[in-house]
Amino acid sequence: MCELPEPYGQPVTLHVGVSLRERRIDKYLHGRFRNLSRHFIQNAIKAGSVKVNGEPVKPSFKLSHRDVIEFVMPEPEKKEIEPEDIPLNVLYEDDDLIVLNKPPDLIVHPARGNKHGTLVNALAHYSEHLSSGLGEFRPGIVHRLDRNTTGVMVVTKHDAAQWKVAKQFELRQVEKSYLAIVHGTPELTADRIDAPLGVHPKIREKYAVRPETGKEAVTFYEVIEAFRGFSLIHCKPRTGRTHQIRVHLSHLKHPIVADDMYGGKLVYPWQLADTEPEVEEPVIARCALHAWTLEFTHPTTEQRVRFEAPLPADMQAFLDLLRRHRAE
């Protein structure tokens, strides 16, 4: 991978070597600049920001050994993010980073149908200094959590920090761990789930284990506490596929509580207490998954740093009820 050109408008020259893997220019550049989306690169090529041997090319242009590529990084498309006064739980902050404890029911960045009420809207209100998104209009965002997953996230304040931290995610140098409350107790109290993931064959919004066509996905898990009918699980993903932990635990036949997309069910207090059914709110109304810890190398000090987000109130209340009524 290459360092991104700074400031925008300055050319980077690439010499195509004998180990060329991707022959198409758009795929080749996406491989060299992994934090720029392929869509962004294709638009840059169409706009004339990429030349091969001094000539503009199309995104489908086929490269050869000894070709010389000149890439002028265009400025990201100017868009407006409306700052919104949404409370943020900041765990740590310095000149390079903001580390947050994300609450439930918060989408990370604006998308179709969700232009307001996102973490990016909150960040725009909180800080005047956020990285550009490196080709995607997601200021400050290095990685994401699902809407209803709580826990620790890192946000960057400038592009150099974003590039260095995002590169660690790409190279799997970031240590992440999650806590989940699942239905039942796995037969093995600790194990490795190695099951490739891909888009669900019938439901576009879902992911599924796809042994033949899926991408590598590995999750290590350990049962921290077992109860009658439920378990608290510690998960350490070694890859970062969308919905990875949710799909892997469902594949293990122990879906996360309240994760209705992957087989989890709502749980009510009367069920835990083994009493007569009552009309009451569920113990937890969202997927019981929490990003617990995050460890990476600081982009400026180059020291390893580790951050921990305490268990949210809804999951803690669930555990308290399990310990009271379902202790083994």
What separation in angstroms does the CA of 180 have from each of 13, 171, 311?
A: 47, 25, 10
Let me know whether 159 and 179 are in one domain: no
* 5 lies in some domain: no
What pLDDT was estimated at residue 49? 87
* 145 lies in some domain: yes
What pLDDT was estimated at residue 275? 93
Looking at residue 203, the DSSP 8-state letter turns out to be -
What pLDDT was estimated at residue 75? 65
From start to end of the chain, where are the E strands?
Answer: 11-15, 50-52, 55-56, 68-72, 90-93, 97-102, 150-156, 175-183, 190-194, 197-199, 207-209, 218-227, 230-237, 289-297, 304-308
Query: How many angstroms separate the CA atoms of 25 and 95, rounded?
Result: 36
Instruction: Output helix, strand, coil percentages for the chain, rounded to the nearest 5.
Output: 20, 30, 50
* 251 lies in some domain: yes
Query: How many angstroms separate the CA atoms of 215 and 208, rounded?
Result: 11
Whether 38 and 26 have beta carbons less than 8 Å apart is answered as: yes
Let me know whether 311 and 198 are in one domain: yes
Let me know whether 95 and 52 are in one domain: no
Helix (H) or strand (E) holding 38: helix 38-46
Burial 65-89 (b: 16+ CB within 10 A, else e): eebebebbbbebeeeebeeeebebe
Exposed (0-12), middle (13-18) or buried (19+): which is 53, by Cβ within 10 Å? exposed
What pLDDT was estimated at residue 182? 98
What pLDDT was estimated at residue 243? 96
Q: Which residue positions in the chain have pLDDT lower than 70?
A: 1-10, 21-22, 34-35, 75-79, 111-114, 134-137
Let me know whether 184 and 157 are in one domain: no
Pairing of strands 68-72, 50-52: antiparallel
Domain that holds residue 20: 11-72
Let me know whether 228 and 137 are in one domain: no
Number of domains in the chain: 3
Q: For residue 13, what are the β-bridge partners?
A: 70
3-class state of residue 26 by DSSP: helix
pLDDT digits (tens, 9 = 90+) for 73-90: 776 555 577 889 999 999
Which token pair is 100?
Answer: 């947050």
Let me know whether 241 and 117 are in one domain: no
Let me know whether 314 and 211 are in one domain: yes
Q: Which residues contact 113 (CB under 8 A, 6 or more apart)?
A: none
pLDDT digits (tens, 9 = 90+) for 254-269: 999 999 999 999 999 9
Q: List the catalytic residues.
A: 146
Query: How many angstroms separate the CA atoms of 100 and 152, rounded?
Result: 6
